[in-house]
Chains A and B, each alone.
Chain A
Amino acid sequence: MVKGKVWKYGDDINTDVIFPGKYTYTIHDPNEMAQHALEDLDPGFATAVRKDDIIVAGKNFGCGSSREQAATCLKFAKVRAVIAKSFSRLYFRNGINTGLALIQSPEAVDAIENGEEIEIDFDRGILYCKAGTFNFPPLPEFVLGIIEDGGLIAHVKKKIAQAK
């Protein structure tokens, strides 16, 4: 079970406002990426975010660029999960591959208020907020395997080691 404070945003939060393009080829340290998280959406976020905080957003979260740092920067800002009405396909893949938990639940997004504390039970797929309890669907087994190994790179390293 995880408990965190909610940062709530709107629809179509794109990768440029999550992690600006001007840093994409010059910052390689994930902790430095975290310092620029949501810089062009909510400039105060990166300094105020606390471990296990949760981002809640509307439809099409992470639309735009393929830049994986838009997932990495949130993971290293210690964001525990992003709950959205829907995710862009590239962001969804990058989330899985970097091990950032992404939950799709339009009903929960409508119910959750900015600033409230919510709890997530990942094992059972249940989310508890002030307005009530919401179930979220499990991911395909193949994808869960990647997340359980801690992201794509750890997953592939494990497979390579097993093959040897």
Chain B
Amino acid sequence: MGKTFVEKVFSKKMGRPIKTGEIVEVIPDIAMSHDNTAAISMIFREIGVDKVFNPDIHVIVLDHASPAPSEKYALNHKIVRAFVEKYGIKNFYDVNKGICHQVLSEEGFALPGKIIVGSDSHTTTYGAYGAFGTGIGRSEMAVIFATGIIWFKIPESMKITVKGKLPEGISAKDIILHIIGNIGSDGALYKSVEFCGDAITDLSIAGRMTIANMSIEMGAKNGFIAPDKKTLSRLEPRAKTDFEIIRADPDAEYAGELEFDINNLEPQIACPHTVDNVAPVSAVNRKKINQAFLGSCVNGRLEDIETAASMIRGKKVNKNVRFLVFPASMKVWQEAMAKGYLATLIEAGAIVMNPGCGPCLGAHEGTLAPGEVCISSSNRNFKGRMGSREAEIYLASPASVTAAAIAGKLVDFREI
């Protein structure tokens, strides 16, 4: 019997055959932390070792509340900078760089066959490059700083095949919302999900990142997409180290196999207050919105901003809507500026913000008041997530977010 991706990646790491269900201790290839490095550094101090086990496996990015919106956050960042300095962590990116998952991708840390952990649940994003990426807790990250080691139980694997050709304007976000709506927020609980099929290979790397990113929203431990020519041509100029492509064996054993056909997929939207509360946009009330948020680690990339700019060119943001655009990184920001997308968006009445997580987690830069409605290209719509617990968040694709910003209400973008 062949092995799944996750069995193979851990077999290679351990130097012996590893099977589903085994518990292993490994030194990850990359360990990413962000603003929470301040809290992690306090736990690290409590452990009581005098140096970081291997500073070079760590990557730290300040993105969650950047630049600091208050004195408390400023202090938090100050603690991180001092920690980085003291322990010689060279892979440090301050508040001018972008969202951690985008930065690790751009800087060539996200590579095929690598084991990447992050004290952030959306670390699953790196599966788009054929890596094993998964989220861990703060204490676990502190222990990696101190000892290098983390334990894993090798999960069962699930295969999701997505077939067909995406209709005009429908995107990776619609695919993943459709899947999550079907299988539920625990539909892949604790599983390693391998995405395959022609609809997945047709996606750009940015689109694949959207899919892998949201694997966590159906409970998965990681989401994997096999690298191909597209992946390699993107990695070639940026890979930080050598890497080896690891794919599941053709006769690997899966705990579940699902198939989706997206030939007739409509624009999808996740309604309050869970990510699996998904419907076609056409089936949802044409509810008035107060804010439209384009950005986040799931949909703040160049192609997302290009979609918004091309839709809004010559039109205006509805006068009752705040349209906030957050390029996922400074690199995306510069590219979007050079191509004129930002000028188009600003001309239409959008507010182009700094790269970072923005209002996604309710810390700053566009939090919601009671009774307000926001359409968001991010990945979570939990009650209270973006501010008031009496606010409503709808999740959708960049095209749907832009359409709502223009119309002032939830609409099928094909009407705009």
Contact = CB atoms under 8 A, between A and B. Distances in A.
A28 B43 CA distance: 10
B60 to A, nearest CB: 14
A113 interface: no
A153 interface: yes
Given A156-B47, A156-B147, A88 B219 contact: yes
Contacts of B155: 89
B361 A22 contact: yes
* Range of interface residues on A (Cβ < 8 Å): 35 or more
Contact of B47 (A21, A64, A66, A153): A153
A123 B80 CA distance: 41
Interface stretch (B98-106, B163-171, B376-384): B376-384
Contacts of A65: 120-121, 361
Interface string A126-164: 000000000000001011000000011100110010000
A153 B136 contact: no
B73 A25 contact: yes
B186 A64 contact: no
B189 A97 contact: no
A94 B48 CA distance: 21
B383 A142 contact: no
A90 interface: yes
A17 interface: yes
Contact of B189 (A24, A89, A98, A152): A89
A89 B143 contact: no
A63 B65 contact: no
Nearest to B277: A12
A163 B74 CA distance: 38
Given A12-B274, A90-B121, A90-B137, A22 B362 contact: yes
Interface in B37-61: 38-39, 42-43, 46-49
Interface string A36-70: 00011100000000000000000110011111100
Contact of A89 (B70, B190, B276, B383): B190
A93 interface: yes
Contacts of A89: 155, 189-190, 219, 221
Contacts of A17: 382-384, 389
Interface string B140-179: 1011001100010101000000000000000000000000
Given A60-B189, A63-B185, A156-B146, A16 B380 contact: yes
A25 B65 contact: yes
Contacts of A39: 384
A20 interface: yes
Contacts of B114: none
Interface in B364-396: 367, 380, 382-385, 387, 389
A54 B385 CA distance: 25
B224 to A, nearest CB: 16
B257 to A, nearest CB: 21
A89 B192 CA distance: 11
Contact of B46 (A68, A90, A153): A153
B35 interface: yes
A65 B76 CA distance: 19
Nearest to A90: B135
B139 A21 contact: no
A14 interface: yes
A87 B147 CA distance: 28
Nearest to B40: A68
B72 interface: yes
Given A16-B382, A24-B361, A66-B136, A153 B185 contact: no
B363 A25 contact: yes
B137 A64 contact: no
Contact of A26 (B72, B121, B185): B72
A67 B380 CA distance: 14
Nearest to B34: A25
B400 interface: no
14 contacts: A12-B276, A16-B382, A25-B64, A25-B65, A28-B38, A40-B389, A60-B189, A67-B137, A86-B189, A89-B190, A93-B137, A152-B143, A153-B46, A156-B47
Q: Which 4 pairs of residues, A with B, have the shortest CB-CB distance? A: A40-B384, A21-B361, A60-B186, A26-B72
Given A25-B72, A26-B73, A89-B155, 20 more contacts: A17-B382, A17-B389, A21-B361, A21-B385, A25-B65, A41-B383, A60-B186, A63-B186, A64-B380, A66-B118, A66-B119, A66-B120, A68-B137, A68-B138, A89-B219, A140-B23, A152-B143, A153-B143, A160-B47, A160-B147
